[in-house]
Amino acid sequence: MTSVAIIFIGTGRYLDFFPDYYESAESHLFPGVDNHYYVFTDGMFDGELPDNVTAIPLEHMEWPYITLYRFKIILSAIKQIQKHDYLLFMDADTRVVEEVKLDDMFDDKKPLTGVHHPCHDLGMDPHKEFPGAFETNPASTCHIKPGEDISVYWQACVWGGRMKEVKELMEVLDDRITVDESNGIIAQWHDESQLNRYFLDNKDRVNTLSPSYAYPEVFKSVMEHPPIIVHLAKENSEYQV
């Protein structure tokens, strides 16, 4: 049976998101597929975990390192994770609210998966400093060069793909982040800046999904796409009990 490694990173209070995250994914994500959840956390679970959940100890890191080191964190358990056919990363504060079939998310002709950033899709200027702005520091390994095609900017709250290609992506980006840090540089949007440089360089290999797969609850009044995977509002989310 096809299997998918679903990656959840949640330290501190973010572990509290996991029960609803798990329930929503189990209800809607990849019917008929063997989903296994890898939970990187510094917290403790109450009671016995389901058979398809593996908890991996992770010491909490201050911002921005908890997101900047996302690739390094996942790679620390790659020997366990790489046995699966696909990998899907979803932020702790996401909810799957509609059915997603395996071939909705993954396309073997395009072995990487990304989501068009909702802010970018709404027409916000990609040269401005908002979530959805490309890295412009020429000293960074992920900077965008003048004249490059910036018609798509990818959101880092949901990404993945076929295991072999995703493992390669994470190894390359972890190395680039290390190079930047050795030069005293952290990209403007951390792991997302690095992800965008890689996806731009491999655009013909990226299955780019609509903003429905990273639907921002805070912008629901202006969204033209229906919600499939929701990025929760920090306050007064209708999906949070």
pLDDT at 47: 82
pLDDT digits (tens, 9 = 90+) for 152-169: 999 999 999 999 999 999
Residues with Cβ within 8 Å of 105's Cβ and at least 6 positions away in sequence, in order, are: 30, 86, 88, 113, 160, 207, 209, 213
pLDDT of 121 over the 50 cut: no
Q: Output the pTM of the full model.
A: 0.92
Please say if the pLDDT value at position 136 is more than 60: yes
Sign of CA dihedral 139, 142, 144, 148: positive
pLDDT of 126 above 50: no
Query: Do β-strands 94-96 and 229-231 pair in parallel, antiparallel, or remain unpaired?
Result: antiparallel
Per-residue pLDDT at 109: 94
Residue of 219 and 190 predicted with greater confidence: 190
Nearest to 118 by CA among 150, 152, 93: 152
Nearest one of 10, 153, 150 to 90, comparing CA atoms: 10
What's the pLDDT score for residue 120?
A: 60
Which has the closest alpha carbon to 225: 213, 238, 207, 208?
213
Domain of residue 170, residue span: 3-231
Establish if 14 belongs to a structural domain: yes
Residue 131 has pLDDT above 60, yes or no: no
- pLDDT exceeds cutoff 80 at 132: no
Q: Is 76 exposed, middle or buried (0-12, 13-18, 19+ CB in 10 A)?
A: middle
pLDDT of residue 170: 98
Chain segment 168-188, per-residue pLDDT in tens: 999 999 999 999 999 999 999
Mean pLDDT across 84-93 = 97
Residue 240 lies in a domain: no
Report the pLDDT averaged over residues 56-74.
Answer: 96
* CATH code: domain of residue 31: 3.90.550.10
pLDDT at 123: 55
Angle between helices 163-182 and 190-201 (to 10 degrees): 120
On whether residue 238 sits in a domain, the answer given is no
pLDDT at site 234: 66
What average pLDDT does the segment 63-80 reach? 96
134-to-13, 164, 207, 209 alpha-carbon distances in Å: 30, 26, 20, 19
pLDDT at site 151 = 84
Residue 172 lies in a domain: yes
Let me know if residue 103 belongs to a domain. Answer: yes
Residue 241 within any structural domain of the chain: no
> In whole numbers, what is the pLDDT of the chain averaged over residues?
90
Position 217 pLDDT exceeds 70: yes
Under the banding of pLDDT at 50, 70 and 90, the label for residue 232 is confident
Number of folded domains in the chain?
Answer: 1
- pLDDT confidence of residue 178: 98
pLDDT of 193 strictly over 70: yes
The stretch 34-43 carries a mean pLDDT of 97
Q: What percent of the chain has pLDDT over 70?
A: 88
* 29 part of a folded domain: yes
Inside any domain, residue 130: yes
